[in-house]
């Protein structure tokens, strides 16, 4: 029995290697988003072009993700800054260094979930720094609470938030599965997009991908982004929970990891740290600078 296990393990290792999924230094997302692990993660620097991880989230250390997820954040922040300079995208939690559960989330375990703080402006239309996750009411105005009771009136920056959604949807990095937002904020952004005359296919994609979750808070204080598994990760065990929605056709008949035995213990055994965040070299924009 022991010999058989060794042989099967060797076969699985060779299979993973031939897929380029474990031994090539790229990230591996394994399992579903609420019960998985993350190997060879990319690390998002605390500050970059057009974005910032505020202190309260930086202290948690949940700034690890797949190569695709980290590169997507970098890409989207640059796109928003290019479209309307002056604002700063606040990035909250990604995943722990090796994935798995944390004290703050049921999901965020496989490097494919990212919390993004909504852009906000003051009563003079000036962008504000993303220090908090402010809740926005149905009128787009920040809901008062004990933390912001003395702060100036802030409003949902519908222009920058739409640019962010547009950059996430129409990107060269990763396929987006969900963008969790409150229904009323979704409507504000879609109305704005239609007024701007945005391409029909982009607005239609946004209408599918923007969704208020049914099993958690409405996400009126931040945007929760989830990307699909990379193809090589999906073959060895990355699991896309929920419906395939916008990208249904090309994922319905994918090869699953069940043909490769003993993948999970092998992946855990091969887990190693990767603390430098580099955007994918093949992408048509400059990568992150190692810090």
pLDDT in tens, 6-20: 333 443 444 454 444
> Among 178-182, 187-191, 254-258, which is the least confidently predicted range?
254-258
Q: What percent of the chain has pLDDT above 70?
A: 70
Taking 90 as the threshold, does the pLDDT of residue 127 lie above it?
yes
pLDDT at residue 144 in the model: 75
The 10 Å CB-count burial string (b at 16+, else e) for 44-71 is bbeebebbbbbeebbeeebbbbbbbbbb
pLDDT in tens, 60-70: 988 999 999 99
- Average pLDDT for residues 34-47, to the nearest whole number? 91
- Closest to 40 in 3D by CA, of 56, 17, 23: 23
* Distances 284 to 78, 99, 151, 169, 241 between C-alpha atoms, Å: 13, 28, 41, 16, 29
Taking 60 as the threshold, does the pLDDT of residue 260 lie above it?
no
pLDDT at residue 104 in the model: 77
148 band by pLDDT with thresholds 50, 70 and 90: low
Identify which has the larger pLDDT, 254 or 97: 97
Model pTM score: 0.78
List of domains in the chain? 42-233+242-251 (3.30.1380.10)
* Burial class, 37, CB count within 10 angstroms (exposed 0-12 / middle 13-18 / buried 19+): buried
């Amino acid at each position: 029995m022991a010999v058989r296990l060794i042989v099967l393990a060797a076969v699985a290792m060779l299979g993973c290697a031939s897929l380029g999924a474990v031994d090539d230094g790229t990230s591996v997302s394994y399992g579903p988003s609420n019960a998985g692990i993350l190997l060879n993660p990319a690390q998002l620097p605390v500050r970059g072009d057009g974005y910032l991880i505020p202190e309260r989230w930086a202290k948690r250390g949940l700034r690890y993700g797949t190569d695709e997820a980290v590169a997507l954040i970098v890409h989207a922040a640059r796109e928003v800054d290019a479209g309307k300079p002056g604002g700063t995208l606040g990035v909250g939690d990604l995943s722990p260094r090796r994935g798995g559960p944390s004290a703050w989330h049921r999901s965020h375990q496989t490097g494919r979930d990212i919390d993004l703080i909504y852009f906000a402006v003051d009563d003079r239309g000036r962008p504000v720094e993303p220090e908090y996750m402010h809740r926005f009411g149905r009128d787009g105005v920040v809901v008062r609470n004990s933390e912001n009771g003395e702060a100036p009136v802030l409003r949902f920056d519908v222009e920058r938030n739409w640019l962010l959604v547009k950059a996430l949807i129409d990107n060269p990095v990763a396929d987006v599965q969900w963008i969790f937002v409150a229904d009323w904020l979704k409507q504000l952004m879609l109305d704005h997009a239609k007024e701007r005359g945005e391409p029909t296919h982009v607005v239609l994609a946004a209408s599918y991908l923007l969704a208020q979750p049914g099993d958690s808070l409405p996400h009126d204080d931040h945007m929760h982004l989830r990307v699909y598994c990379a193809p090589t990760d999906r073959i060895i065990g990355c699991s896309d929970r929920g419906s395939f929605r916008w990208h249904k056709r090309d994922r319905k008949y994918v090869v699953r990891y069940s043909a490769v035995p003993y993948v999970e213990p092998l992946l855990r055994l091969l887990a190693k740290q990767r603390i430098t965040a580099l955007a994918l070299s093949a992408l048509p924009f400059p990568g992150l600078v190692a810090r």
